[in-house]
Structure 1
Amino acid sequence: MHRLLGLLLLLAPLLVHGQNAANELFQHYTLHRPQLKSFDIHVTKSDSKAKRPLLVYLDGSGNFPLYYKTKSGRYNSSVPLNISKYAKDYYIVVISKPGIPFKDSLRYDNSGRRYYPENNTFKQLYSLDWRAEAASATIDYLVKKLPIDTRKVIVMGYSEGSQVAPRVAVLNKKVTHVICMAGNALNQLYDFLLAARLQAEQQQLSRIESQRIVDSLYTEYAKIYRSPKAVDHTWYGATYLKWSSFSRTTPLENMLRLSIPILYIAGGRDDNQTIMSMDYAKLEFLRQGKSNLTYRVYPDCNHYFQEEKTVDGVIKKSDRIDEVHQFAIEWVTTVGK
């Protein structure tokens, strides 16, 4: 089963963008909500009093700080968006996960693997519901606090954040645009089953080995669904609460509840999850006669939108994440025209 373990999706898609964790870029606020406890939000500063759109950026999974210092002494970020590029035109907000600071240094174990220590707040609260409700509360707060152009309140989610984004729009009717990038459309637990079947088709496993994995996965899934709120039981490094919350409803089900424009972006070589799950979203929108989904695929890109092509026998690699974000921003300005 070790090969399947290598396909772990959405647990730690930590992206290095090389941005400085400059406090002068952000204004920091702490919000308090009974169910969510206290949580920190970080909004780009502006000297202008003019109204501008709000962009809520939801990063991927894991418990790393939004900005984290590595052994080299350099700060990297779990947010792949070039925030400073768009801060002059948008209020951009990022949200710290429960109990996790805005920035801090990573730790390293004896093998050199990087990690960040778990804490009880994160363990007790981290779920799709917490992330979606925190984002919704953030929107409500900032619309009152700042001169927001409410014609454009955008929720953009990457990886696990992509699963959260449509749920935020279901909760909060102020959201006008949803952008989902590199996140599954169906139950994320299904991706593990599909991966096991595909490995058999690709002759990486025998069909008997594949079936053993599938059977073992169903055994684990039964445990999760029997104890959906458990935080003292974990699977693949995450609590049953986390897994059950992200698979109680699917991202596609939340997308289908929306009538606002949705942009769904996929990488054709995404190894964190299969694009076949993502393809189904477009099919379902067509089946139901809904026209508010734009589906964009970068065929040769992986989960991080790094592209690898073979041209005249030579492998050429390029990073297209900035291009992908620019496409998304341009889509917001043109959709509906």
Structure 2
Amino acid sequence: MSYLRVISLLSLVLITTSIALKAQPVKPADHGLKEFTLKDAKLGLIRFYVDTINIKKKQPFFIEVNGSGGLPLCIFIKGKGFGSIYNTLNEQLKAVIQKDFHYIILGKPGTPFCDTIKTNEDAKHFDAHQLIANYKYSAGYTRQLSLNWRVAATKKVITYLIKQGYWDGTKIAAYGYSEGGQVVPSLAVADKRITHVIAVVGSGLNQFYDGIMAWRVKAAKGKVTQQQAQDSIDVELKRIKDIYANPGSTHLQYGGHTYKRWASFGLNPPFEKLRMLNIPIYMIVATADESSPIYGLDYVQLDFIRLGKKNLTYEPCVGCDHYLNKPDADKTSQQDYNSKILKWLSK
């Protein structure tokens, strides 16, 4: 994920628009999930969700680490005479995975499963994009969210579920999308119980590099002068130095996130973690991705070739954007990749 806050309804799924406001699916059970909570002195309240299809059976684990931002997994927009549900939960992925694995997803710190956004507009005039973009993240999210929180919380969830007898002792696959794609390499290094890593449109190099390279590309295309690009990069580097000098600050923010969040990811470039792993790794990247530019991800493949490592499957989605969509295609490529992920895990 590039280091500017990006919120897009392309990553949300409209479930229903209805006059019957009492019938909205706003609870985990409405989405085929069971909610669990764990309390930790340092991490606070950890909310996580497990699909209910085969919840009484022992199965392998498939843990989704989702993208950036403090949005709930479910958002209910309530207006004049209507209600709309939007999901940041990947329902398509869950549907494919839950037959063979326990599908598990964590909520963000300080964030409920579902939250309500109210508007005075009616169904014809409300702007869902704007309403969701203006959603204020919780104080708990702002205070807690970091790479370290996501790794530590996920480890505790795995431990709990194993102790409660949900695991069959075989596979534990860690799937990360966007920001989650940066988390799962660190998670797998920190937790040796992880057997497979799937990183989708994450990052390869230090994510601050994306912004620097973006200015170089603009200059190369003639959109700005070389001097304008250099001046902008100098400004960015000054801010980056300030972030590293204040790595624990939750009051200072940049691009919609705290310094604490930025520093935690900036100190752990994904390629450095990935090359430490000897378990199977599946990376899906998008060649037209502006949020997670491919040039930083291509470096991972280059580094694995240099090291002679054979455990990386690297698959570019040619012409695809950050959501694995092709602008001129009739359907998303996401469904195809969900099937590919399941097939890869079955090997």
Query: What is the TM-score normalised by the length of structure 2?
Result: 0.87
CA contact (8 A) 1:268 1:300 kept: yes
Q: Alpha-carbon deviation of 1:113?
A: 4.3
Q: 1:250 to 1:207 in 2, by over 3 A?
A: same
Task: Give, in whole Å, the separation in 2 of the partners of 1:11 and 1:124.
Answer: 20
Q: In the alignment, does 2:340 pair up with 1:327?
A: yes
**From 159, 162, 169, the counterpart of 2:178:** 159
Asked if 1:232 corresponds to 2:227, the answer is no
Please give the per-residue CA displacement for 1:67-120, whole angstroms capped at 9, x wherever unaligned.
Answer: 112466332222335213432221111111110001112367998442322322
Among 49, 53, 63, which residue is 1:56 paired with? Answer: 63
Q: Which runs of 5+ in 1 are unaligned?
A: 1-6, 309-314
User: Per-residue deviation at 1:316?
Assistant: 4.0
Of 124, 129, 148, the match for 2:143? 124
Matches within 5 A, 1:37-48: 37-46=44-53
Q: Provide the identity percentage.
A: 30
What amino acid is the match of 2:61? Answer: L
Q: 1:321 to 1:106 in 2, by over 3 A?
A: farther
Indicate whether 1:12 and 2:11 are aligned.
Answer: no
1:172-203 Cα shifts (integer Å, max 9, x gaps): 11110000000111111110000010011111
Distance 1:269 1:222 in 2: 29
Amino acid at match of 2:41: P
CA contact (8 A) 1:10 1:60 kept: no
- Find the aligned partners of 1:10 and 1:320 in 2 and give their Cα distance: 24
What is the alpha-carbon distance in structure 1 between the residues aligned to residue 204 and residue 53 of structure 2? Answer: 36
Is the CA contact (8 Å cut-off) linking 1:26 and 1:42 kept in structure 2? yes
In the TM superposition, 1:14-163 aligns within 5 A as 15-18=11-14, 23-24=28-29, 25-46=32-53, 49-70=56-77, 73-82=83-92, 83-106=94-117, 112-114=130-132, 115-163=134-182
Partners of 2:322 and 2:5 in 1: how far apart? 10
Q: 146-155 vs 183-192, which deviates more? A: 146-155
Give the RMSD, CA atoms, in angstroms. Answer: 2.1
User: How far apart are 1:209 and its partner, in Å?
Assistant: 1.1
Distance (Å, rounded) in 2 between the aligned partners of 1:318 and 1:88: 24
Q: Is the 8 A contact 2:197 2:281 kept in 1?
A: yes
SS of 1:104's equivalent in the other structure is strand
Q: Which runs of 5+ in 2 are unaligned?
A: 16-24, 121-125
Closer/same/farther in 2, CA of residues 8 and 189 from structure 1, 3 Å limit: closer
Provide the C-alpha distance between the structure 1 equivalents of 2:105 and 2:332, rounded to a whole number of angstroms.
Answer: 23
Deviates more, 1:130-139 or 1:19-28: 19-28
Question: The residue matched to 1:38 in structure 2 has which SS?
Answer: strand
Relative distance call for 1:253 and 1:46 in structure 2 (3 A) is: same
Whole-Å separation in 1 of the counterparts to 2:4 and 2:169? 34
* Partner residue in 1 for 2:20: none
Q: For residues 31 and 205 of structure 1, do their structure 2 counterparts lie closer, same or farther at Cα, with a shift above 3 Å needed?
A: same
Mapping of residues 304-319 of structure 1, within 5 Å: 304-308=323-327, 315-319=328-332
d(CA) in 1 for partners of 2:155 and 2:162? Answer: 11
Bigger CA drift: 58-67 or 40-49?
40-49
Query: Alpha carbons of 1:84 and 1:272: their partners in 2 closer, same or farther (altered >3 Å)?
Result: same
- In the alignment, the residues of structure 2 paired with residue 307 and residue 269 of structure 1 have an alpha-carbon distance, to the nearest angstrom, of 9
Alpha-carbon separation, structure 2, partners of 1:286 and 1:8: 28
Could you tell me how far 1:170 is from its partner in structure 2? 1.1
Secondary structure of the 2:13 match is coil
With over 3 angstroms needed to count, the CA separation of the structure-2 counterparts of 1:330 and 1:117, relative to structure 1, is same
User: For the residues of structure 1 that align with 2:26 and 2:170, how far apart are their CA atoms?
Assistant: 30
- Within 5 A, what are the aligned runs for 1:257-276? 257-276=276-295
Instruction: Determine if contact 2:285/2:294 at 8 Å carries over to the other structure.
Output: yes
Change (3 A) 1:81 1:166: farther
Aligned length: 322
Amino acid of the residue matched to residue 90 of structure 2?
P
CA distance, structure 1, for counterparts of residue 185 and residue 103 of structure 2: 18
Q: Report deviation, 1:150.
A: 2.5
Match of 1:3 in 2: none
Paired residue for 1:311?
none
